[in-house]
Amino acid sequence: MTPEIAHLLRSLDAARHGALKKLDGLSEEDARRSTVPSGTNLAGLIQHLTFVESMWFEQVVAGRSAPRGIRSMRVDPSITLRQLRADYKASWAVSDEIIEGLGDGGAPVERNGKAHDLRWVIDVVLTETNRHAGHADIIREQIDGRTGR
């Protein structure tokens, strides 16, 4: 793994933990509560980020079939916060395994007719994770005045 990819992976790992931390101390009900007209909620953001990890690393980079997880931010009531956390962490493990297996970055991947390297894909997921962690900060603050730090 190149130093640049290792740095990006450390940044992604910090963003992942930051997003997940937004759930700390919340009830199942509060994690599903939306404070915005779009209906976005903290549980849904974590579910969506699980999908993002799987789609980009498992499907796009590794060429596996359809990604695991659900793209939607609507979480089935039967899925607990414990399960959402576990699923998200499991997606990290698979993503990290794929990244580490590529060593210096592997072959470019194609997305929308353009070739991209692993650094680009990590940056896309890092940007998406940070973007949604920002949304989560706002929602968490509206729920209980905290940002989950």
The residue extents of the domains of the chain are 3-144
**Burial degree of 103 (CB within 10 A; 0-12, 13-18, 19+):** exposed
Q: What is the CATH number of domain 3-144?
A: 1.20.120.450
**Structure tokens belonging to residue 60:** 């796009």
Each residue's pLDDT tens digit, 92-148: 999 999 998 887 777 777 777 888 888 899 999 999 999 999 999 999 999 988 875
Q: Would you say 120 and 112 are in contact if contact means Cβ atoms under 8 Å apart?
A: no
Each residue's pLDDT tens digit, 30-86: 999 998 898 899 999 999 999 999 999 998 888 888 667 777 788 999 999 999 999
As a 3-state breakdown, the chain gives helix, strand, coil percent values, each rounded to 5, of: 60, 5, 35
Return d(Cα 54, Cα 68) in angstroms, integer. Answer: 6
Each residue's pLDDT tens digit, 27-41: 999 999 998 898 899
Reply yes or no on whether the pLDDT at 13 is more than 80: yes
Q: How many of the other CB atoms lie within 10 Å of CB of 48?
A: 22
Q: What is the mean pLDDT of residues 18-26?
A: 93
